[in-house]
Chains A and B, each alone.
Chain A
Amino acid sequence: MTAADLLGGAILAALVLYALLGGADFGGGIWDLLATGPRKRAQRELVEHAISPIWEANHVWLILVIVLLFTAFPKAFAAISITLFVPLVLLLFGIVLRGAAFTFRTYDTPEDRVQVRWGLVFSASSVLAPVVLGVIVGAIASGRLAGPPEGVDPLAWLAPFPLAVGFFAAALFAFLAATYLAVEARDALREDFRRRAIGAGAAVFLAAALAGVLSWYDAPLVFAGLLRRGFSLPLHVATAVAAVTAFAALFRRRYRLARAAAAAQVTLIVLGWGASQYPYLVVPGLTLATASAPRATQVAVLWALAAGAIFLFPALYLLFRVFKGERPFSVLDRRPAPGPRGEG
C-alpha cells in the first residue's frame, strides 16, 4: 500500500461521507421541490429544520476532496478541470444558488410569495447539483476523457452513460434523504417520507439498471467492475443485502434500521465505483501512480489528514449529538415518544 493508495482511499472516504451527508442534503432539497399533498408545508418545514444547522458542514467534504485532489494528484485535477469545465461550472452554479437561496429564505420575510420564490431556487438547484455531480463521476469513470486534454471535446461528457449516472445520483440522494427524514418526522408526516423513500428506492433500482446496461458499451471498466472482477460478487451481494434490508425495514416501519441500511447501500455503491476504476483516477489516462505529487507532499498531507481527523470526527459527533438527538446514529427505534415531531 503506497502513500498514493492511502490518499486515494482518503479521497474515496471523503466522497462516501459527502454522499451520505451532502448527498442527503441535496435529497432534502429534492423533497422540497416535490412536496405535495395536505402536509406540503410541514414537509418543507421538516426539510428545513433537518438541514439548517448542518448543511454548511456537510458540504465541506467536497472542498476536502478538491484540495486533496490538487495536492496529492495534481495531474488528475488539471485534467478533470479542463475536460469537465462545462459541468463543473454548472455544478458551481448549483452549489452557489442552492446555499444562497436556502439562507436567504431563512432570513427573508415570512411572506408566502417570497418564501416560495427562494424555495424554488433552492429546490431546483438541489436537483441540478446532484445530477451534474453524477454526470461528472460518470464521465470520469467512462473513459470519455481520453487523449491529451487540449484535444478533448468540451462536450465529451454529454453522453448516455454519464447522464444515467446523473439521474442515478439524484435518485439515490432523494432515497437517502427520505429515509433520514422518516426518522426525524412523526405520525402522518413520517408516513409521507416512508412512502417517498419506497418510491425513490424503486427509482434508484431503475436508474441503476439503466446505468448498468449503458456501461456495457460506454464504460467498460465500470462494466467489468460490475461483473468480472474478484470483488464484484461479494460487493453485489453486500449492496443487495443493504438494499433489501432498507426496503424491508421501510415496509415494517423500522425507520432507523432503514436509514442505516440506506446509508450502507450508498457507501457500498461509492466504494464499488472506486474499486472498479482502481488504479485509475481518470479513466483511462491517469492512475493513482501517474497522477501523483512528489512523495514528500503525499506523506505530509497524510499526516495533516490524521491530525485533522482527530479533531474533526469528535466535532462532527458533537454537531449531530446536539441537533439529531441523543443517539444520532443508532439503528434501533425507541418506543414512540410523545411530542409533535423531531428528536427534541
Chain B
Amino acid sequence: MNDLLAARWLFGTSLAFHIVFAAVGVAMPLFMVLAEWRFRRTGAPAYLELAKRWAKGTAILFAVGAVSGTVISFELGLLWPRFMEFAGPIIGMPFSLEGFAFFAEAIFLGIYLYGWGRVGPRLHLASGVVVAASGAASAFFVTLANAWMNVPAGFAVLHGAASDVQPLVAMFPPGWAHEVVHVLLSSYVATGFAVAGIHALFLLRDPANAFHRGALRVALGVGAVAALLQPISGDFSARQVAATQPVKLAALEGQFRTERGAPLRVGGLPDVEARETRLALEIPYGLSLLAFHDPRAEVRGLEAFPRENWPNVRNVHLAFQAMVGLGSALALVALAYLYHRLRGKPLPRLLLRAVLVTSPFGFLALEAGWLVTEWGRQPFTIRDVMRTADAVTPVGNIAVPFVAFTILYLFLAAMVIVLLRRQIAKSPPASEVGAPAPAEGAL
C-alpha cells in the first residue's frame, strides 16, 4: 500500500466512522427534546422515560462523535497538509463557526444530561433545543466546507497559493444549499429509521407498550417526513451536480458518451475499458429529464473530459445506485407509515416488520452518498484546483497509523454496540410509564 492510498484509507475510515456519530448528533437531540416536550405537554410518563433513555444513548454516541471529530480536525493536517495550507484560509470561516456550534452542543448537552432536577424544566428543555439546533448548525458548517471542495469559489491562484480570498464567497459556493439540505435530511432519515427499527422490534413482541409506541411515533415521525423530502432534495442535487460538476454526474450515471436525450440507468456495471455501462435497465430520456428537466437536453459523457480526470466510475456508479435504491425503499416505508398515521389507523405488523428490515438502510444510504460525493470528486481534493496526490503528507509509513486507527475504531464500535444493547435491552416496566395504550388509535 503506498502512502497516498494509506492516507486515503485512513482518512476515509476516520470519516466513515465519524459520520455515523455526527448524524446521530444532529438528529438524536431533536428526538430527545421532542419526547421531553411531549411529556411536558401531556404528562405521559412514558415520554419522560423515553427522553431520559434517549439522553443516555445520546451521551454515549456524542462522546464517541466528539473524540472521533477531534481526530478528523487533526488528520486534515496530518494527512493533507498541502491541502490545508492552501485551503485553510479559504474555508476556515465555516470551520471556525462550526467550532462555536460544537461549543454550544457540548455545553448544553452537559446541562441537559446532568441537569435533570438541577435546573428548571424550561431551562432544561431549552438546553435540549440548543443542543439540537447547534448539532444541525455543526453539520451545516462542515458541509459548506465540503461543498467548497466540490465547487471551489472565492479565491484566485497566484504562484500556487491562494490569493484574493473572499471568505464569505467561499463559504457559500455555488450549489451549497443542495448539499447542506441533503446532508441534514440524511441525518434525520438515518437516525430516525435506525431508532425506529429498535422500537419496532419491541413492538412486534409487545404491541401495546406505551413506551415503544411513543418512541416509534417520535423517531419515525421525523424520519419518515425527512425520507419523503429526501428524493425532492435529491432531484435538486442532481440538477446542481449536472450544472456544476459534470464529470461527477457522468460517473454516477455511468454515462460515457455525450448525447441528447440520455437514458437514466438503473443498476448496471460500468466497464471503463469498453466505455459502456452494461446490464443497466435504461429508462429512455430519463437522465436528460432528471438532470436538466428537458428530455432532449445534452448530457456530457465522460468522453468529453480528459481520462486522467475521471474518478473511479464503477465505484461512483455503484455507490450512487446503492444510495438511490436504499433511499427509495425508505421513502416507500415512510409513505406507508405516514398514510396510517394521518388516517389514525393502527400499524399493521407487516409495516412494523418493514420498519425493522429497513432500519439500517438510512445509515447505509448516508455512507453510500458520502462515497458518491468523495469518490466522484477524485482524482481531485479541490475540484480542478488540487489533486489528492498533491495534497498528501510527505511523512512516510502511513499504513502504520492506518492499521492502528482501524483497530481502535473497531474496538470503539464494538463497545458502543455492547453498551447500547445494554441500555435498550429491557423495556421499562408498565408501572413506570403508565398503563398500556389502547390497542386502537394511531401510534
B244 in the interface, Cβ–Cβ < 8 Å?
Answer: no
B90 in the interface, Cβ–Cβ < 8 Å?
Answer: yes
Q: Mark out the residues of chain A between 45 and 61 whose CB falls within 8 Å of any chain B CB in the assembled complex.
A: 52-54, 56-57, 59-60
- Chain A contacts for B115, CB-based, 8 A: 53, 322
> Contacting chain A: which of B158-166, B202-210, B221-229, B289-297?
B158-166
Shortest A26–chain B CB gap in Å is 14
A188 in the interface, Cβ–Cβ < 8 Å?
Answer: no
Q: Please determine whether A322 and B82 come into contact, CB atoms closer than 8 angstroms.
A: no
From A67, A89, A305, A319, give the contact of B401 (CB < 8 A): A89
Shortest B412–chain A CB gap in Å is 6
Q: Please determine whether B88 and A293 come into contact, CB atoms closer than 8 angstroms.
A: yes
Q: Mark out the residues of chain B between 112 and 167 whose CB falls within 8 Å of any chain A CB in the assembled complex.
A: 113-115, 118-119, 162-167
| Total number of B residues with any Cβ neighbor in A under 8 Å | 66
- Chain B contacts for A293, CB-based, 8 A: 88-89, 92, 165
Interface centre among B64, B85, B119, B393 (most CB of A within 10 A): B85
1/0 contact string of A272-290 vs chain B (CB within 8 Å): 0000000000000000000
> Contacting chain B: which of A72-80, A174-182, A209-217, A233-241?
A72-80
- Chain B contacts for A149, CB-based, 8 A: 81, 394
Q: Mark out the residues of chain B between 289 and 323 whose CB falls within 8 Å of any chain A CB in the assembled complex.
A: none
> Contacting chain B: which of A27-35, A308-316, A330-338?
A308-316
Closest B residue to A307 by beta carbon equals B100
Q: Please determine whether A304 and B97 come into contact, CB atoms closer than 8 angstroms.
A: yes
From A78, A102, A305, A311, give the contact of B85 (CB < 8 A): A78
- Chain A contacts for B77, CB-based, 8 A: 66, 70, 77-78, 80-81
**A78-B84, A301-B93 as given contacts; A312 in contact with B103, CB under 8 Å:** yes
Q: Mark out the residues of chain B between 42 and 82 whose CB falls within 8 Å of any chain A CB in the assembled complex.
A: 56, 59-60, 62-64, 66-71, 73-78, 81-82
Q: What is the number of contacts between chain A and chain B, taking CB atoms within 8 Å?
A: 200
> Contacting chain A: which of B27-35, B245-253, B263-271, B415-423?
B415-423
- Chain A contacts for B258, CB-based, 8 A: none
A328 in the interface, Cβ–Cβ < 8 Å?
Answer: no
B104 in the interface, Cβ–Cβ < 8 Å?
Answer: yes
User: CA A80 – CA B115 in complex, angstroms?
Assistant: 40
From B67, B93, B404, give the contact of A95 (CB < 8 A): B67
**A56-B109, A67-B99, A311-B100 as given contacts; A77 in contact with B70, CB under 8 Å:** no
B350 in the interface, Cβ–Cβ < 8 Å?
Answer: no
Q: Please determine whether B102 and A60 come into contact, CB atoms closer than 8 angstroms.
A: yes
Closest B residue to A57 by beta carbon equals B106
A187 in the interface, Cβ–Cβ < 8 Å?
Answer: no
- Chain A contacts for B108, CB-based, 8 A: 315
Counting contact residues on chain A (CB < 8 A from B), the size range is 35 or more
Q: Please determine whether B166 and A88 come into contact, CB atoms closer than 8 angstroms.
A: no
A99 in the interface, Cβ–Cβ < 8 Å?
Answer: yes
A103 in the interface, Cβ–Cβ < 8 Å?
Answer: yes
From B73, B412, B423, give the contact of A67 (CB < 8 A): B73
B285 in the interface, Cβ–Cβ < 8 Å?
Answer: no
- Chain B contacts for A95, CB-based, 8 A: 67, 70-71
From B76, B78, B412, give the contact of A100 (CB < 8 A): B412
A294 in the interface, Cβ–Cβ < 8 Å?
Answer: yes
Q: Please determine whether A308 and B92 come into contact, CB atoms closer than 8 angstroms.
A: no
From A62, A70, A85, A97, give the contact of B393 (CB < 8 A): A85
22 CB-based A-B contacts, threshold 8 Å: A57-B106, A66-B77, A67-B92, A70-B92, A71-B92, A71-B95, A72-B92, A74-B86, A81-B81, A82-B394, A88-B78, A91-B74, A95-B71, A99-B64, A103-B59, A293-B89, A297-B90, A300-B168, A308-B96, A316-B103, A316-B107, A322-B118
